[in-house]
């Protein structure tokens, strides 16, 4: 027996289960058709684990003696939608499940972007994942933020922390003043208070922008800088690590999720830990390889000492209070979530260089 409902936009773009009616023989196998998708290719550590979810979900159903199986249609690398549309694609059921980039949705998903306003808090990817997965499971405000967009959230995606890749050496963070630094708009608050200027841009453009003088350096994660070969045009790297942070994760259209049999729902919830775990493993492996590769290629790498990182953290404005005030003004319970975030991250083993909840 096969259960299917297809959403059509000129062509088939997704398939999802409808509720089961009546009983089925214990020996029967029922197929549920679902789509797994991402705007980004599988070479990236937040997309690759989706393939593992696809493979292991049926293995777990079989292990538990379920008569259900999922017939997955996979669509990665922007086959169905681009990076700016990851939330809408799942909300509108263009795909049933997939990676959702919260970093592209600061207005729609403000609580999911809390880590961009709390630098120098975590020191491991596991601390970041444990903190946000705990909050997304246990805090109603976090759950409701996803539910308002008809999303059932399973597990966070994570990256390594930000570092600096510069055309000229920098002996102390104070020396960043006056430099033009390429980076994501969300990181402007990390460097502009120090006298630098953030030049927003896209990853594929950074190399040429450094060559042509648009930027004097880049603020980027090491696992992103190395594949782009930024060390060729910005050979003076400062390994800062502003702290691993989450930026979205694996979710499913909630209406589709609610229509699934309970045993399939339970498997998908369990897949959240599988997804986050593989993402963390890939980041750890790739981060070490990236820095080793840059050094082998001739880049000069300076490890920023703890004292200097503390200097940087102390020089920033009160990002936690700013984030709270901006979101509370929009009816978001940001004060409560910020306090719980700082408490939860400490419970995860982190030793923050600054308490972003101190003045809220």
Residues of the domain holding 99: 2-160+244-286
Q: CA-CA distance, 247 to 253, in Å (whole number)?
A: 19
Q: CA-CA distance, 45 to 63, in Å (whole number)?
A: 27
Tokens of 293: 């590769």
Tell me, what CATH number does 53's domain have?
A: 3.40.190.170
Q: Check: CB of residue 193 under 8 Å from CB of residue 316.
A: yes
Q: Where are the beta strands (DSSP E) in 167-310?
A: 180-183, 197-200, 217-221, 236-239, 245-253, 300-303
Structural domain tally of the chain? 1
Q: CA-CA distance, 122 to 126, in Å (whole number)?
A: 9
First to last CA, the chain: 56
Tokens of 54: 């696809």
Q: Is residue 331 part of a domain?
A: no
Q: Is residue 73 part of a domain?
A: yes
Q: Is residue 343 part of a domain?
A: no
Q: Is residue 352 part of a domain?
A: no
Is pTM beyond 0.85 here? yes
Could you tell me which of 32, 40, 12, 45 has the C-alpha nearest to residue 279?
45
Tokens of 238: 């400062």
Q: What is the per-residue pLDDT for 23?
A: 38
Q: Is residue 85 part of a domain?
A: yes
Q: Is residue 219 part of a domain?
A: no
Q: Is residue 167 part of a domain?
A: no
Q: Is residue 89 part of a domain?
A: yes
Q: What is the per-residue pLDDT for 6?
A: 35
* pLDDT digit string (tens) for the chain, length 360 residues: 444 433 322 222 333 443 333 334 444 699 999 999 999 999 889 999 999 999 999 999 999 999 999 999 999 999 999 988 999 999 999 999 999 999 999 999 999 999 999 999 999 999 999 999 999 999 999 999 999 999 999 999 999 999 999 999 999 999 999 999 999 888 999 999 999 999 998 788 999 999 999 999 999 999 999 999 999 999 999 999 999 999 999 999 999 999 999 999 999 999 999 999 999 999 999 999 999 999 999 999 999 999 999 999 999 999 999 999 999 999 999 999 999 999 999 999 999 999 999 999
Q: Check: CB of residue 165 under 8 Å from CB of residue 240.
A: no
């Amino acid at each position: 027996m096969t259960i299917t409902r297809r959403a059509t936009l000129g062509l088939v773009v997704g398939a999802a289960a409808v509720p089961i009616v009546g009983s089925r023989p214990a020996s029967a196998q029922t197929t549920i058709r679902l789509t797994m998708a991402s705007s980004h290719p599988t070479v990236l550590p937040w997309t690759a684990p989706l393939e593992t979810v696809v493979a292991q979900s049926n293995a777990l159903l079989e292990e538990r003696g379920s008569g259900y199986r999922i017939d997955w249609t996979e669509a990665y690398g922007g086959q169905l939608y681009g990076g700016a549309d990851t939330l809408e694609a799942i909300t509108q059921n263009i795909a049933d499940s997939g990676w959702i980039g919260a970093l592209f949705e600061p207005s729609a998903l403000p609580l999911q972007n809390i880590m961009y306003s709390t630098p120098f808090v975590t020191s491991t990817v596991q601390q970041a994942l444990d903190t946000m997965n705990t909050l997304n499971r246990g805090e109603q405000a976090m759950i409701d933020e996803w539910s308002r967009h008809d999303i059932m959230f399973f597990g966070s995606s994570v990256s390594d922390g930000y570092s600096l890749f510069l055309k000229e050496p920098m002996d102390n963070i104070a020396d960043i003043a006056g430099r033009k630094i390429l980076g994501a708009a969300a990181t402007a608050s990390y460097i502009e208070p120090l006298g630098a200027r953030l030049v927003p841009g896209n990853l594929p453009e950074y190399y040429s922008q450094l060559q042509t003088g648009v930027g004097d350096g880049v603020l980027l994660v090491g696992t992103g800088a190395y594949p782009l070969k930024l060390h060729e045009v910005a050979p003076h790297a400062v390994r800062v690590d502003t702290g691993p942070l989450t930026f979205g994760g694996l979710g499913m259209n909630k209406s589709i999720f609610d229509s699934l049999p309970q045993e399939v729902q339970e498997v998908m919830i369990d897949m959240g830990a599988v997804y986050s775990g593989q993402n963390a493993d890939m980041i750890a492996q790739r981060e070490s390889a990236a820095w080793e590769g840059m050094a082998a290629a001739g880049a000069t790498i300076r490890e920023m000492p703890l004292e200097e990182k503390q200097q940087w953290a102390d020089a920033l404005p009160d990002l936690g209070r700013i984030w709270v005030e901006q979101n509370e003004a929009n009816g978001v319970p940001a004060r409560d979530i910020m306090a719980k975030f700082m408490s939860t991250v400490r419970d995860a083993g982190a030793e923050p260089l600054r308490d972003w909840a101190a003045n809220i």
